Amino acid sequence: MVVLTLLDGVAFATLGPAVIRSYKFRMYPTSKQDALLRAMLDDHRSLYNAALQERRDAWKRGKQIWFADQDAQLTAIRAEDKDQARWSYSAQEQTLRRLDKAFKAFFRRVRDGRAPGYPRFKGIGYFDTVDHRNGDGAKWDSHPTQTKVYFQGVGHIKVRQHRPVVARRLTRIGIKREGRRWYVILAADQALPAALQMTGVMVGIDLATGPNGLAYTSVGERIENPAYGRASQSRLADADRMLSRTQRGSNRRRKARQRLADVHRKIRNQRHDYLHKAARRLVDRYDVIVAEDLNIAGMTRRAAPRPDGARGYEHNGGSAKTGLNRSIHDAGWGLFLEMIRAKAESAGREFIQVDPAYTSQSCSKCGHREAANRNGKFFRCLSCGHVDDADVNAAVNILKAGLALRDVAETAPREAHFIGMTSLEAGRVPSG
């Protein structure tokens, strides 16, 4: 698959003969294993927090601690702490690497002039994953007659494997806690699947929100938006209200928190299932899919306050912005685009993202651009009189921009930069 995007006027192409896919299966530990898994998370959380504290203290003294320095201390830590010694050494290395990645991301954001977000200490209940190397402290399908996974210090845990694992090799085996449920996540290194048969059809996609749907295509198709979060607002409000009435540390509060988490998990699972199916339909039908290259994080950032100079604030449209942000997150734009990208990669399709600037104001027939061309959902070109649905017109313009970008990459290969693709990593978006 080829993925094209435009950066500073240069076309970038991404190629890759292999992919990494993640598989997520539910585990069914016994009560004893459940306690051991919780103990594992807690000990890894303690290791993470201790490593973070060491880095903070070293910085105050004018020194800097690196991953290699902390990794070298693991042997001594395990010799002194029997609780830490019962878990996999390489898994503890992954926890230290997790902290190291957090610091690298922090310094990268500082260099880029963005809000840095210094790494935080992890409280109880806020450290839910542990990563293992396959064959080193963890082993998949460790039982001859039943699907199980083995973890050092825990033993063989029963797994409900609802689909086969296709892999040249498994690279990682992760543990993930979601409320009362436990999951195993496998990172599988796969050969690039055979491409789907060509259909000879291309499509552009214009994203939408709320009752306006999820997206519109250049062929006039509307992809509906179930808005599962909005549909479950009353259940979320009830669960949140019950949580607010409980006392901190009580059993009632623990149960109420779990009830709220269950509602959120249901919404998330519904959204993932729907987006997977919508992305699958697009990839099956079209050889080339062109979508908007949106800065979703920037679009959903809260409105900046406007001081009025008298110790107060002017109206900044924050309430409306909050509603828009909620609609964008509920629609799952970013997840939808990532799913299209992953499925296109596996199917040998082309997925192109373009700058959507002015695509909603430009006429798809004559190219005339004017803000007055669009009036809500209605588009009428003031130059040639072309009439269309505004979102469909934008989707046609997006398709044209993508094809133009594609032609640039094909006719000027010296200007294109080809880089290796790392695809979807473990714990990101499961394939399907």
State yes or no: pLDDT of 427 exceeds 80: no
What is the rounded average pLDDT of the residues 389-394?
Answer: 93
pLDDT score at 378: 93
pLDDT score at 311: 76
What is the rounded average pLDDT of the residues 40-50?
Answer: 97
**How far apart, in Å, are the Cα atoms of 92 and each of 86, 121, 181, 274, 428?**
11, 17, 22, 36, 21
State yes or no: pLDDT of 4 exceeds 90: no
To the nearest whole number, what is the mean pLDDT of the chain? Answer: 87
State yes or no: pLDDT of 432 exceeds 50: no
Confidence tier at 142 by pLDDT (50, 70, 90): low
pLDDT score at 149: 95
pLDDT in tens, 243-302: 999 999 899 998 999 999 999 999 999 999 999 999 999 999 999 999 999 888 888 887
pTM of the complete model: 0.80
**What does the alpha-carbon distance between residue 398 and residue 203 come to, in Å, rounded to a whole number?**
9
pLDDT score at 415: 47
State yes or no: pLDDT of 416 exceeds 90: no
What is the rounded average pLDDT of the residues 151-159?
Answer: 95
State yes or no: pLDDT of 209 exceeds 80: yes
pLDDT score at 397: 94
Residue 185's nearest CA partner among 138, 229, 152 is 138
pLDDT score at 193: 78
Count of beta carbons in the 10 Å neighbourhood of residue 157: 23
What is the rounded average pLDDT of the residues 220-237?
Answer: 93
Torsional sign, CA 243, 245, 247, 251? negative
Range of weakest confidence among 49-58, 111-120, 389-398: 111-120
pLDDT score at 422: 33
3-state secondary structure the chain: CCEEEEECCEEEEEECCEEEEEEEEEEECCHHHHHHHHHHHHHHHHHHHHHHHHHHHHHHCCCCCCHHHHHCCHHHHHHHCHHHHCCCHHHHHHHHHHHHHHHHHHHHHHHCCCCCCCCCCCCCCCCCEEEEECCECEEECCCCCCCEEEECCCEEEEEECCCCCCCCEEEEEEEEEECCEEEEEEEEEEECCCCCCCCCCEEEEEECCHHHCCEEECCCCEECCCCHHHHCHHHHHHHHHHHHCCCCCCHHHHHHHHHHHHHHHHHHHHHHHHHHHHHHHHHHHCCEEEEECCCHHHHCCCCCCEECCCCCEECCCHHHHHHHHHHHHHHCHHHHHHHHHHHHHHHCCEEEEECCCCCCCECCCCCCECHHHEECCEEECCCCCCEEEHHHHHHHHHHHHHHHHHHHHHHCHHHCEEEECCCCCCCCCCCC
What is the rounded average pLDDT of the residues 402-428?
Answer: 56
